[in-house]
Structure 1
């Protein structure tokens, strides 16, 4: 018999975490350890975040065996900013049994309805800024760092429960993009770019560890300016920006954290994240979590890193629309391509990307016929208010 209980005790949290191993035990591309830090993002978030993001985790048990989990999330910063009565669900994992899925989604929606919310959307784990959506295309690929990976039956479970797709977003894979840009195919575009960049006053620098908080604040302000009219947006707080940055710091390649400045003023940001999941998959041969983590970091930071980690995920292309130099977006993209090649990576994957995003419209690679490499989906359903 399936029972769903709210997560309150240390034992409950152990059951919540144990679901991951159950679901991905037979997944050839499942990672040995859960990529999301449940402790930092859900169980014990920063004090500032606890004040605006109320959560309740649930775990489904088949007897004593954990077989599913979900978290209901009331982001009061989002509802205050948008005025929309929407609650979220996230951290969703479930065995291939609709009875379990139904019980979990019922529990999450009931908790949100009791808080007066009219709609449940997701998955968001715990927000759009961290991880969002479920993978809905061919899952026979190693997960991309920072992006969802799940069994394909998740979409079936959500739709059977009555959820409807409200937004799709994608990843696009580019093999050796700078080499392609410098090829005869793009000779005219390369010549134009060289002329424009030669007379531009835009300069580039990387984020500095010595001034990390100041640079993080620059990125946060650019994010809030760039994505102000973006679907699902609510302003990013200092606490959330710093929280995510701390999570990413161990695997970041600082040379791929690009800040563009125009006459000394920050006007754009673009980030490349080495695909540490490749190193994590290799580290699965170690028996303990500590050894797997150390092996992953040693690979990602080592001089021979590109023998294992050949890819980079690019994300957070932030551009000040008021920058007088309209070429800044193109310049920061090409500079990223150049640095990715210089650092020895051969694969670049842009995610998450909406088809109508400025990143795709502004990229010369949008002129190459290609289709998304992966597709992710967000769902929504109205719920009865409590």
Structure 2
């Protein structure tokens, strides 16, 4: 009745990318992924992740009808960096049918075992440097840019397929009437940092390539103790930076510089999902591109997507300055809502810092695992 096959042809890849549009039809909180971005992410030779790792998409069929999808991922850089034999899954979407879900996970586990993996972890699409996590709390609003969304029944499908919680990821929300008190010290902190020779400034888009090279060094060192973190290759970081530059507002991308060297950065991006939610089936052509261009100025949401400081420069006030300036610009631009995401549940410093700023935890995502 049900069958699972590798999605290796162009036609199958199109079906793989388009399946969620049919599954989530009528769901007011569903945001379609851009077709061209998903196609490139899943195609060897198009995205630099494939230079070091393997991704095998699978489709589940009932007759000729697609009823589920999943991708098996062997992240060789992860295993080499962490001395592990992990396998991963991502891009999981499925009708509410346990048999179909079980077949998808069985096929994925078999493929991963053939590659030498002993565990199956996910969802990661295809790594923690891209979208990841299964939404487990906060189904009442759309996801912000580069965050995931799924049906509540997915949780039961995963757990009945034998997967269990590895770690939770928390998303915090600031609203327009946020408490300004924690941010009033920003200027004082900045002056104190300047006496140490540390300058806080916006990113220089005219020297974007040179800045991006330094940002990659900070990213790869500042996040190296995070769960599942894998340093990004130069090609991967350049690819991501090029994508982000298209939606970047330099007012929301700050760097900390010491003696000409970038030692920390904060990246916040306008919530472009407010526009993409209206782009039918993730196609920019023929009309989606106009929605993107004409409505960009109407975006009133922000995602604080990354904030990292090299270890020797932490607890000096740089992080507080980054948040302070982001919220200052948030107010200046009359934005309505900001999300800080995602933060590991066991990152006590970041979680407590956000709570101290009166940010509210409002969504929770989960990474699952299973021995295979």
Query: Aligned partners of 1:287, 1:168: CA distance in 2, in Å?
Result: 32
1:62 counterpart residue number: 62
Q: 2:351 aligns with which of 356, 360, 366?
A: 360
Deviations 1:104-154 (A, max 9, x none): 111111100011110000000010010111101141211211000010111
Query: Aligned partners of 2:32, 2:122: CA distance in 1, in Å?
Result: 25
SS at match of 1:162: coil
TM-score (norm 2): 0.91
Between 1:195-204 and 1:266-275, the stretch displaced more is: 195-204
Between 1:118-127 and 1:349-358, the stretch displaced more is: 349-358
Deviations 1:243-273 (A, max 9, x none): 2222223222222111121343212111111
8 A Cα contact 1:272 1:312, kept in partner: yes
Report the Cα offset of residue 17 of structure 1. 1.9
Report the Cα offset of residue 45 of structure 1. 4.8
1:339 counterpart residue number: 329
Deviations 1:336-358 (A, max 9, x none): 11122223323111010124433
Report the Cα offset of residue 209 of structure 1. 3.1
Report the Cα offset of residue 46 of structure 1. 4.3
2:233 counterpart residue number: 237
8 A Cα contact 1:200 1:325, kept in partner: no
1:380 counterpart residue number: 369
Report the Cα offset of residue 36 of structure 1. 8.4
8 A Cα contact 1:329 1:362, kept in partner: no
1:318 counterpart residue number: 308
Query: Aligned partners of 1:285, 1:377: CA distance in 2, in Å?
Result: 26
TM-score (norm 1): 0.88
2:146 counterpart residue number: 146
Structure 1 gap ranges (5+): none
8 A Cα contact 1:20 1:34, kept in partner: no
8 A Cα contact 2:179 2:357, kept in partner: no
1:172 counterpart residue number: 172
Between 1:202-211 and 1:112-121, the stretch displaced more is: 202-211
1:273 aligns with 2:269: yes
Q: 1:199 aligns with which of 192, 197, 202?
A: 192
Query: Aligned partners of 1:157, 1:205: CA distance in 2, in Å?
Result: 47
Query: Aligned partners of 1:362, 1:336: CA distance in 2, in Å?
Result: 15
Structure 2 gap ranges (5+): none
8 A Cα contact 2:41 2:47, kept in partner: no
Report how many aligned residue pairs link the two structures.
368
Query: Aligned partners of 1:68, 1:152: CA distance in 2, in Å?
Result: 16
8 A Cα contact 2:34 2:282, kept in partner: no
8 A Cα contact 2:218 2:308, kept in partner: yes
Query: Aligned partners of 1:286, 1:93: CA distance in 2, in Å?
Result: 16
2:89 counterpart residue number: 89
